[in-house]
């Protein structure tokens, strides 16, 4: 499918979405901050290339799920401004995806850094 917009304009839309997530999304800012902290710890503890791959993938996964969750919540609010059971389910399940990714990130972070911190 051909886009109506130029490639440059498509990138502008994507960066606008990131800007919105950062400026309006408290949870996104927290997750970005924890991701940056994890990257700093990775530099300090000189993690291996394989460990970097895991760390970057889990940071990206958490941020991606948060962006998708935010988009789903906005869409649900537009199409169902009144509280409906199916709308609640959509919002709760998308929030749960962020929670699952965040829990996985905690385990991966603990697996990567606890042995290095206490060594």
CA 13 to chain centre: 18
State the catalytic residue, choosing from 19, 51, 66, 73.
Answer: 66
2 is catalytic: no
- For the annotated catalytic residues, the residue numbers are 66
């Amino acid at each position: 499918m051909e886009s109506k917009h130029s490639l440059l304009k498509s990138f502008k839309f994507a960066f606008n979405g990131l800007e919105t997530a950062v400026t309006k999304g408290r949870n996104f800012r927290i997750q970005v901050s924890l991701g940056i902290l994890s990257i700093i710890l990775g530099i300090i503890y000189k993690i291996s290339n394989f460990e970097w791959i895991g760390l970057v993938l889990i940071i990206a996964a958490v941020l991606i799920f948060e962006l998708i969750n935010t988009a789903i919540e906005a869409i649900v609010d537009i199409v169902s401004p009144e509280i409906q059971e199916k709308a609640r389910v959509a919002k709760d399940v998308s929030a749960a995806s962020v929670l699952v990714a965040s829990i996985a990130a905690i385990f991966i972070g603990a697996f990567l850094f606890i042995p290095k911190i206490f060594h």
